[in-house]
Amino acid sequence: MRIATWNVNSVNARLEGVLAWFESQAPDVAVLQEIKCIDEKFPTEAFERLGYNVAVHGQKTYNGVALLSKFPLEDVRRGLPFLQEDETDEQSRYIEAVIAAPTPVRVCGLYLPNGNPLGTEKFAYKLAWMRRLHSHAKSLLALEEPLVILGDYNVIPEVEDVAIPEAWTGDALFQPESRAAFRALKNLGLTDAYMQADGAPGGYTFWDYQAGAWPRNLGIRIDHILLSPQASDHLVEVVIHRDERDKEKPSDHVPVVAELRL
């Protein structure tokens, strides 16, 4: 089973390129982030014509996530559980479903908050969201089933995951608190698929549109695939589709695909 994550940075604005990639690569399952549209405006029929079942948790103009699968989707969840009864969250950043394949897999797609600028409620929201993710991941791991939690985490885990570390020291993606929360998530028993399959420095997944970041390869690795033990045992490879960043009208992120032999 090939499972992909891709922050498409507006699915309708980049639909031609996104569909071309899906036609050529045909992942079995994919999660998309920053679709930037409400559910009704998501191009569901276009993906259905390619053989995908579609679940969407959209939002007008901002955020939004989608889950696509060539297998039926069961137990669909939109949004993370709250830690307190009075909590609310108007941002569409999380979607989850059981992929009803011969060996079922629970797939969770996320678009973790950016958190900038530091010292504002946006960074507090990022850390609070990560606490909610930690709590939910812990409950899912207790099910002891193949589990994949993937998406745009907006966290640079290590200095090897950024071309120029000193350029990001004042950014929420590279703060000690963000990185510690990501480590705590992994320490629940989740494996970073890229680090298990490859782990080479420079496995970037994002290049900013500004300052010639792409031609100079000034990237960062922020799109991650985390696996439960029941999934990591079956990991074959992880492929970062760098070439998509060089296409016409690209997203600033590229697809990342993990293959599991289940």
Q: Which of 28, 152, 161, 171 is catalytic?
A: 152
Out of 52, 94, 111, 204, pick the active-site residue.
111
Which tokens sit at 42?
């998501």
User: Residue 152 annotated as binding?
Assistant: yes
208 labeled part of a ligand binding site:
no
8 A C-beta contact, residue 56 and residue 76 = no
34 labelled binding-site residue: yes
Q: Is 154 labelled a binding residue? A: yes
204 is known as an active-site residue: no
Which of 135, 176, 140 is closest to 158 using CA atoms? 176
Question: DSSP E strands: which ranges in the chain?
Answer: 2-7, 29-33, 53-57, 65-69, 73-78, 94-99, 105-111, 147-152, 191-192, 223-227, 235-240, 256-260
Residue 15 buriedness (CB in 10 A; 0-12 / 13-18 / 19+): middle
Is 224 designated active site?
A: no
Residue 241 is a catalytic residue = no
For the annotated binding site for Mg(2+), the residues are 7, 34, 152, 154, 252-253
The set of catalytic residues is 111, 152, 253
For the annotated binding site, the residues are 7, 34, 152, 154, 252-253
